[in-house]
Every structure is written in structure tokens, then in C-alpha cells.
Amino acid sequence: MIQQNPVFHDVADAWWIVVSKENILQYSEQPGLIRGSWQTLTEFHAWQDDVIQVGEVDSLPCYMLDLESQFVATDELDSLSLRAMLMQLPGELFSVVSRAWQVALFLRTHRFCGCCGNKMSRVDWELATQCHTCHHRCYPRISPCIIVAIRKGNQILLAKGAHHKNDMYSTLAGFVESGETLEQAVHREVFEEVGVKVKNLEYFASQPWPFPHSLMCGFLAEYDSGDINVDGEEIIAAQFYDFDALPNIPPKFSIAGRLISATEQKIRNG
């Protein structure tokens, strides 16, 4: 899927994910992801050795170009935060921009070997960096996280995280620890964050989430026992809600939003 030596010079039309610092560039006159042929994108020609193909959407190749911090905004080009750009893109472009950002971040953070400290270089047969002194090789980092919707009778448990904006309540989530299964992580995180036990876990779906490199693994679960007792650090409030009186919840395209819908559906279906 990810090619490092694309023939991009002659492609008539393509999507261009141009990364600058923590942002994605766009033309002021044409907001959204940049599209066109390389020949027309003259302002980026100085970076031609850094073009990487990160996917394909609707038969058009998608290329990533990381300008790091070298780009200065002009009248024609401005930048949008990764989050703001992602929120306005349809599903397939969302995925490819997520991937592009993670590839850029990987290359930025693997310039030197973690074993011997020498310079790393990219290998040309897969997306990896390699140390030619000690042969240590690195791949893009992916951090698995569990995310779980807990139902009790006709209600769902929703919690307010310490960092949630807009008074948003969501499903519980947390990173999987070394040596843990996804199921163990669900039981541990739920108990740590809200003090309850759950049962009958059911795998739902997964979603890559590029802030910065999570893979959200979604589960549906049933409440088993215990009283809600929030940890006060990651979670500052939590309670079971009826579906006709939900608080502000995450958007439908996020896996949290989909888990909440799926729980409602399960309750309706009895």
C-alpha cells in the first residue's frame, strides 16, 4: 500500500497531502485537500525527493510530502490543523490523511538509531528505517487502545474525560499495556476509570486514530457489578444514561459515536 519510489511526475491527477509542522496545507482559493498534477505544484518541487505514496482513493494516487517546518505561508497557501482537515473529509480521504500524518511522524522521529545512536536511513522495499551500523530496524509505531460501550438494562454508561472539550460525554477508552490482551485491557481500564465490572464482551470494530498513532479497538459490553466511582484523574464524571436523555456525545463517524448507536440498536432489538 505504501510505496516509497512512486512515479508521480507524470501522473495527471492525484491527491497531495502536504504536511507542514502539525498542519496540512491547502490553497486559500480551493479549501480542502490539494488535488492536481505534480507539474502544476511548482511551489513544492524543491521537495521532490521526499514524495511518498500513501494510498489511492477513487483510482487517484495519494502522495504525502512532509515540509516539516520549512514552509512559510503565502497568499495562495495556508494551513489547517490536522484535526480540522480530517473533520471535513469523507471516510476514504480521512483514512489516507490519517496514514500520511503517521508516516510523516514516523520518519521525523526515527532519524537516529535507538540502539547505537547512529543515523538511520529508509529502506526501499517497505516502510521502515534501518541502522546500517547495528542493523536495528524500526517500523511505524501503532498504539492499540480499547474503547468500550457498557450497557445496563436500557441505559449506557458515558463518561466525561478530564480532557474532553464542549462538555462531551463518551465511551471509556484506554491504552493496552505490554503483555495484555484486548479483553484484559477492557476489564482493567473500566475498573480503573469508573470502578465497575463488565461481562459478555463483544468485539465491534476498529478505527485508526492519528492523534498521534492509536488504533482504537471497539467493544460492546454489559454491566456486571459495582457502583460507579470515577478515578478523578482521567475521568471526572460518569453515569448511566437513557437514550432519550443523552448528553453531548461524539460524532457518528468516530468509533465512539458508532458504539453508542450500536448499543441503542441492541437495546431496541431487545
- The site for Zn ion (CB under 5 A) is made up of 113, 115-116, 118, 131, 133-134, 136
Which residue, 64 or 113, is less far from Zn ion as judged by CB? 113
Q: How far is the CB of 133 from Zn ion (least distance, A)?
A: 5
In eight-state DSSP terms, residue 234 is: S
For residue 61, give Cα distances in angstroms to 125, 215, 222: 19, 24, 43
Which residue, 30 or 133, is less far from Zn ion as judged by CB? 133
Which residue, 114 or 226, is less far from Zn ion as judged by CB? 114
Q: Which three cell numbers stand for residue 83?
A: 484535526
Which residue, 23 or 129, is less far from Zn ion as judged by CB? 129
Instruction: Count the Cβ atoms, other than its own, within 10 Å of residue 31.
Output: 11
In eight-state DSSP terms, residue 256 is: H
Cα–Cα distance between 50 and 122 in angstroms, integer? 11
Q: How far is the CB of 129 from Zn ion (least distance, A)?
A: 10
Cα–Cα distance between 54 and 2 in angstroms, integer? 5
Q: How far is the CB of 178 from Zn ion (least distance, A)?
A: 23
Q: How far is the CB of 140 from Zn ion (least distance, A)?
A: 18
For residue 263, give Cα distances in angstroms to 26, 199, 241, 245, 258: 38, 15, 12, 15, 9
Which residue, 136 or 164, is less far from Zn ion as judged by CB? 136
Cα–Cα distance between 161 and 135 in angstroms, integer? 42
Which residue, 131 or 255, is less far from Zn ion as judged by CB? 131
Return the closest-CA partner of residue 6 out of 50, 52, 55, 64.
52
Q: How far is the CB of 141 from Zn ion (least distance, A)?
A: 17
Q: How far is the CB of 142 from Zn ion (least distance, A)?
A: 22
For residue 29, give Cα distances in angstroms to 7, 77, 90: 28, 8, 20
